[in-house]
Structure 1
């Protein structure tokens, strides 16, 4: 890695993975889940990890979040070892909201843990709910809103943490196709507005092509980088429906889909 690249990944939100591998278990029963993987992710990039089930995508995300330690190699986020709760805001496949709290209460609790002073939390809560398209819902109970709205609350809660990194592990997988597409549109908009570095895990070539500013396809287990592809599609000032219908998008989706199939079979 050049000195320039190293400097870029030390700034807020930059990610550096050097010869990262991960195994589950020990001895003859050990499972090699990942690696070795080398990646440099500059600040502000929206990186999508895509591949077949079991290829190590979620494992890699957990390592970046600091939830697990790599068996081999090193990981740095903003020039430091990842620490759970401090390194990134994380959105999971299920919203994992607190049902005894209101929509606003869930977000305010995240703001409390992020160290936002009490007197500023209400204003910040409303800003975050508006950002994810949930203005006016702060007083509603979790069971009173749809699954798609619950996932929006989860994204708002992740954005409450004043981290420069957002990690998303198949957050839309359990949603119907229309809700999923709407949330993709919103996440793309929020990503552009926030400028945060993001890492998004998905099975879907379509989702990867739409969301990513860069796409990394992983091989089957143990997951390695099969394709590292920068995306040239515009990220602002374009109608999402027009983008999905464009030849450039359709060509990219086809290329990623073929790469996923090839990597899964290799």
Structure 2
């Protein structure tokens, strides 16, 4: 991408705080995933090799069916890889322990209040009972849902429900957050607002994030690193870092910058090329 000295994005590019240690680091070595057996076997993804350092916001982007969600499930530990090794923080991924996961649908418990959903997550995370109210309020504030703890799930909007899902995923204080197209079902305005919130939360907390999307625009806005996958079986077609700043530039300025437009165009072209390969 070309440099523009008069752009606030260009001036702040590269100012990203490093996160030390190995918590949240992800390693995929020669990973493939197949379903079925014999002549009916289908390889969904692979082989894939990726190293994701702590604190990175990696976006997996590609056309539908390219294996993005499959890779996310492997990193979450929901299923073992057919071939290769998946490690999170130096060990095998354990569902509900090594990562928090946010799905396309919020998957909240409708019979519980907003606060009740968070409290349950804190209980499973073994947060002492006496600390849960404080942690719950902190999490709801973090995702912009102050004073909603007593509201029922059906009393809040779809965007607010997805905020609750993000707060619930953060409850365990894991070093890794996995997000599988969490904003796909939302209207454009709500989606943009939640993208902005997630970008801010990510910068504030320094967690490792892996975000799945098919949108070049979303990938350019959120990612500190973008990986484009080919059509099935999904393999790495493009792996590039983003030079866009994580802090110090407003969302509108960022989206309106020439650097953002160039990155979005590069990702979009790579997705189209990879889908046709």
TM-score with structure 1 setting the length: 0.96
Instruction: Confirm or deny that 1:189 pairs with 2:200.
Output: yes
Measure how far apart 1:201 and its partner are: 0.1
Name the residue aligned to 1:131: 142
1:46 aligns with 2:57: yes
**Partner residue, 1:105:** 116
Q: 1:10 to 1:60 in 2, by over 3 A?
A: farther
What CA distance in whole angstroms lies between the structure 2 residues aligned with 1:190 and 1:162?
A: 13
Given the alignment, which residue of 94, 105, 125 partners 1:114?
125
Distance in 1 separating the partners of 2:202 and 2:21: 21
Whole-angstrom distance in 2 between the partners of 1:55 and 1:161: 30
Q: What are the residue-to-residue correspondences of 1:10-89 with 2, within 5 Å?
A: 11-89=22-100
Per the alignment, residue 207 of structure 1 pairs with: 218
Superposition deviation, residue 63 in structure 1: 0.1
**Residue of 147, 159, 162 corresponding to 1:151:** 162
Aligned equivalent of 1:140: 151
Q: Secondary structure at the match of 2:255?
A: helix
**Partner residue, 1:94:** 105
Q: 1:89, 1:163 within 8 Å by CA — same for their partners in 2?
A: yes
Q: Equivalent residue of 2:32, what SS?
A: strand
Q: Is the 8 A contact 1:10 1:79 kept in 2?
A: no
> What CA deviation, in whole Å up to 9, does each residue of 1:119-169 have, x standing for no partner?
100000000000000011000000000000000000000000121000000
Alignment TM-score, normalising by the size of structure 2:
0.92
SS of 1:206's partner is: helix
> CA shift at 1:58, angstroms?
0.1
Structure 2 unaligned blocks of 5 or more: 1-18
Alignment: residue pair count: 259
SS in 2 for 1:226: strand
Question: Higher RCO, 1 or 2 (CA under 8 Å, sep at least 6)?
Answer: 2
Rounded Cα–Cα distance in structure 2 between residues aligned with 1:239 and 1:11:
31
The runs of at least 4 aligned residues of structure 1 exceeding 6 Å deviation read: none
Look up the SS of the partner of 2:59 in the other structure. Answer: strand
State the Cα RMSD in Å: 1.1
Q: C-alpha offsets along residues 246-265 of structure 1, whole Å, 9 cap, x if unaligned?
A: 00000000000000000000
In the alignment, the residues of structure 2 paired with residue 256 and residue 248 of structure 1 have an alpha-carbon distance, to the nearest angstrom, of 12
| Secondary structure class of the residue paired with 1:227 | strand
